Structure 1
Amino acid sequence: MSKLQKKALFCLAGVLSFSCALAIAAALGIQLWIKGTVLCKTGALLVNATGEELQKFIGEIQYGLFYGQRVKFCGLGGRPTTFSFFPDLLNVIPASMHVSVIIFTTALVAFALIGTGFFMFNAFGNPYETLHGPVGLYLWCFISCSCGSLVLILFSSEVKMHNLSEKIANYKEGGFLFKTQTEYFGKSFWIVLVCTLTHFLNIFLIRLAGYEFPFSKSKDMDSPGAIDFMY
C-alpha cells in the first residue's frame, strides 16, 4: 500500500476517533441514557383500575448519569419532578457501579482523543518509536474498546440487575409504590455502543494499512531497523 493510501486511512481513523470523543462527551452530560414508564401500583390498587383507567396511573421517567426527570401519575394528573444522582440518590443506587460508569465514560473520551493524536501523528509525522507507530495505535484502540465495553456492561447491569429505574421512581415516596412498566436504553447508550464499534473498526483500518497485529509479529520484525520508521 502506498504512503498516500496509508495517510488517507490514518486520517479517516483519526476523524472517526475524534468524532467519537465529541459524541461521547455530549452523551455524558445529557439525560438520554434511559427512558421508560412507571406504574403507580398503590393508586391503581386503591381504585381497582383496569384497562383504559390504568393509563391514568402510568407515568414517565428518563435519566442520564447525573440527573433526570420523572412524571408521576396517580390518578390526579401528572407530577413532574427532577432529581440528581449526586448527592441525592447515592444512598439508593449502587453508587460504586454508577461512579465506575462515569469514570470509564470519561476515560473513553480521553483515550479517543489520545488515539486521534496518534493517528494524525502517524499520518503526517515521522513515528520513531514503537508506541508512536502501529503498536501504539493498536494499544489506544484496544483500550478505547475496553472502556466502551465496560461502560455498556456496567450500566446495563446497574439498570437491569439493580432495578435502577424502580429505585429512582420510589425515592422519597413513602405512601406510594411505583413499578417499572417499560424500560429501554436511550440515545446516549447507543452512542457509546456505536463509538465502541468504531474503535474496533479502527483496528481493522490499521491492519488494512498493512501492519500486522502486535501478537502476530514475527521475530524478524523485532530488529531495531524494522520499527524505527513506518514509511
Structure 2
Amino acid sequence: MPSTKKTIYFMSSALVTAIAIGILGFAMSTEWAKMTMKCGKDSDNLNGTAVITLKLFQGDLVRVSCPVFGNPQPEIFQVFPKVMEAGSSPAALHILTVCLMALCLLFSAATILTSLYNSVSNPYENYMGPVGIYAYSSLSTCLSVLVLILFAVNISVTSMAEELTKNIAHNDDLHLKDKSTEMQTGFYLVIPYTVLSLLAIALIYMYDHAAYTHRKEQQKPTEDAPKETMMY
C-alpha cells in the first residue's frame, strides 16, 4: 500500500485535473469571441455594422443597417456548417481547434485515472506511474496553448468573420472592413486550464523528488561505510 504522503499528492493531482476538466468543459459551452465590422452596400458607404458572437458550436449575427435599415434581430447559426462554407482555411483551423480541445479532455481524464491508480497502489515507473502523469499532463498543457494560438489566428488573420457574415446574410456583395475582435470568457478560461495542468505536474514532481531524495539518503550509510565493514 502507498504511504499517506503519496496518497495525498496523487489525490491532489487528480482533484486539480478534475477542476481543470470542469473549467474546460464550461469554456467549450460559452462565448469565445465577438467580431465587429463596418458594413455597407459599397466601400464608400459603410453606415452599418455587423457583429458576430462566436461559440465553438453555435453563434449569432446581429446586423444593423447591413445593408438596409430595419429592426436588428440576432440570426442564430451552427458554426460547423457555416464555417465549412466560409473557406478551407477557417474550416480547417476551427475543426482542428475543437479536436485539440477534445484531446485535452482525453489526456486530462488519463491523468486523473493514473493519479487515482497511484494513490491506492505502487505501480512500476512506467506510463502507469509518475511518468504517465508527466506525459498526459504535458500533452494537455501543450495542446491547450496550441488551441489558444489557432483560435486567435483563425478569427484575426483569416477572413472567417467576413465570409460568415456574407453567408448568413445570403449576400456576397456586402462590403465589410475595419474588423475588430474581442476575446470572450471561453477563450480566457483555457488559460486556467493550462495552469492547473502544470500544477498537476508540479505536485507529482514534488512527491517524486522527495521520494528520490529519501531513497538516496537511505543508501548513504551503505555507500559511506568502510570496505572492511562491508566485507562482513
Q: Report the TM-score range of the alignment, normalised by the length of the smaller protein.
A: 0.7 to 0.9
Partner of 1:132: 128
Partner of 1:11: 11
**Partner Cα distance (2:195, 2:14) in 1:** 15
Structure 1 position 209 matched with structure 2 position 207: yes
**TM-score of the aligned structures, taking structure 2 as reference length:** 0.77
Partner of 2:22: 22
Specify whether residues 112 and 180 from structure 1 end up closer, same or farther in structure 2 by C-alpha distance, changes over 3 A only: farther
Partner SS state of residue 70, structure 2: coil
**Partner Cα distance (1:39, 1:134) in 2:** 53
In structure 2, which of residues 155, 162, 167 is the aligned counterpart of residue 159 of structure 1?
155
Bigger Rg over Cα? 2
**TM-score of the aligned structures, taking structure 1 as reference length:** 0.77
Structure 1 gap ranges (5+): 50-56, 213-231
- What is the identity, as a one-letter code, of the residue corresponding to 2:33? I
Partner SS state of residue 182, structure 1: strand
Structure 2 gap ranges (5+): 211-232
**Partner Cα distance (1:126, 1:207) in 2:** 16
- What is the identity, as a one-letter code, of the residue corresponding to 2:79? F
CA contact (8 A) 1:39 1:180 kept: yes
Structure 1 position 87 matched with structure 2 position 86: no
CA contact (8 A) 1:21 1:110 kept: no
In structure 2, which of residues 44, 60, 63 is the aligned counterpart of residue 69 of structure 1?
60
What percent identity do the matched residue pairs reach?
Answer: 22
The Cα of 1:133 is off from its aligned counterpart by 1.2
**Partner Cα distance (1:124, 1:191) in 2:** 32
| Counterpart mapping for 1:12-51 below 5 A | 12-28=12-28, 30-42=29-41, 45-46=44-45
Partner SS state of residue 130, structure 1: coil
CA contact (8 A) 2:50 2:165 kept: no
CA contact (8 A) 1:69 1:83 kept: yes
1:66-100 Cα deviation digits (max 9, x unpaired): 22001100143314211223323303142222211
- What is the identity, as a one-letter code, of the residue corresponding to 2:17? S
- What is the identity, as a one-letter code, of the residue corresponding to 1:85? V
Q: Spell out structure 1 runs of 4+ moving beyond 6 A.
A: none
- What is the identity, as a one-letter code, of the residue corresponding to 1:107? L
The aligned length equals 203
**Partner Cα distance (1:199, 1:145) in 2:** 6
Specify whether residues 66 and 149 from structure 1 end up closer, same or farther in structure 2 by C-alpha distance, changes over 3 A only: same
Question: What RMSD over aligned residues (CA atoms) do the two structures have, in Å?
Answer: 2.5
The Cα of 1:135 is off from its aligned counterpart by 0.8
